[in-house]
Amino acid sequence: MPSVIRKAVVPIAGLGTRHFPASHAVKKELFPIVGPDGIARALFHYHLRELVAADFDEICLVVQPGEQAMVRAYLDGPGDAYLKRLAKYPALVEEARQMRDFAARIHFAVQETQEGYGHAIFQTRAFAAGETIFLCLGDHLFRGRTQSPYRELADLARASGGLSVSGVTRIGPAELKSYGTVAGKRRQGDPRLIDLALIIEKPSVEIARERLHVDGLPPDTWLAWLGMHVLTPSIYDVLAEMIRDNVRDNGEFQLTRAQEMQRERHGHLALEMNEATRFDFGIPDDFVKSVGAFSRQSL
């Protein structure tokens, strides 16, 4: 029976340290990104567009204390006087209308202290209220060749019923240091689907070669997190245990460790998303590359 997945989470509470001093003036997730349609939007705005189009009713933004008003002000848009100045640009008037629609769907969770990605997600437990959530990285954007990756993963998860599902993509040795990487076996009915047997955050090349195998991949090629996940409610139980027992990696509560613990107890699927492109805006060099590439690539 198809699962109902109607809630999404986008963490934007990071300090943006690597973008300082620009991030001291403007929050990283509010940096302007020009889309293929020529419209400049805040980075996080693109997530809202994609998530609403993929039939998510409610979206929770994880923010730092006091940032709610800033985000609300952005989504509420300009006053009537400014809107009159936009009248000669119908596409921008429509953009303002859509932003107000997005604002009605937004909830906030506050991360009081910066204690890791898993810690940030744990702050959304009240918003989730026992439901499965769709999660995507706040400082990455995603686009597919023939369909939206957001909808592709959400529809697959809704049809699969009951398991957490993560989008994965192929990487080489140089990228292992940046991503959670997986091992598992492909399903016969749909080889894009992998039943995961192990998840390791940022493994070494030696560990990846020894332990992180997925059938059907060329040598020195692995499957790693794309940056979007569908997580069943038990993820909050695991995160609560980690925080209670102070289980940290490099000083932080990491979501990847929680996913591995959840996998051991309940199972975890991955969907190989070969048509999806990931645009990383997290560090200045990648930001520069992604700004140009994102504006040129249309669905």
For 147-191, the pLDDT digits (tens) are 999 999 999 998 877 899 999 999 999 999 999 999 999 999 899
How many other β-carbons are positioned within 10 Å of the β-carbon of residue 84?
Answer: 11
Q: Which CATH superfamily, name and number, covers 7-296? A: Spore Coat Polysaccharide Biosynthesis Protein SpsA; Chain A (3.90.550.10)
Q: How confident is the model at residue 268 (pLDDT cuts 50, 70, 90)?
A: very high
pLDDT at 3 over 80: no
165 neighbors 269 (Cβ within 8 angstroms):
yes
Instruction: Count Cβ atoms within 10 A of the Cβ of residue 271 and give its class: 0-12 exposed, 13-18 middle, 19 or more buried.
Output: buried
**At residue 268, what are phi and psi to the nearest 5 degrees?**
-155, 135
| Tokens of residue 86, six digits | 């936009």
Distance of CA 41 to the CA centre of its chain: 18
Q: Is 21 exposed, middle or buried (CB count within 10 Å of its CB: 0-12, 13-18, 19+)?
A: exposed
248: phi > 0 → left, psi -120 to 50 → alpha, else beta; which?
beta
Q: What is the pLDDT of residues 212-225, one digit of tens each?
A: 999 999 999 999 99
The two counts, helices (H) then strands (E), for the chain are: 12, 13
CA distance 218 to 170: 10
- The structure tokens listed for 220 are 């020195």
What pLDDT, on a 0 to 100 scale, did the predictor assign at position 93?
92
- Other Cβ atoms within 10 Å of 189 Cβ, number: 6
Domain ranges of the chain: 7-296
297: pLDDT confidence band, cut at 50, 70 and 90? confident
Residue type, 18: R
List pLDDT tens digits, range 10-67: 999 998 999 999 999 999 999 999 999 999 999 999 999 999 999 999 999 999 999 9
What's phi and psi for 12, nearest 5 deg? -135, 30
Which of 259, 179, 277 shows the shortest CA–CA distance to 224? Answer: 179
How many C-beta atoms surround the C-beta of residue 286 within 10 A?
15
Query: Which pTM does this prediction carry?
Result: 0.95
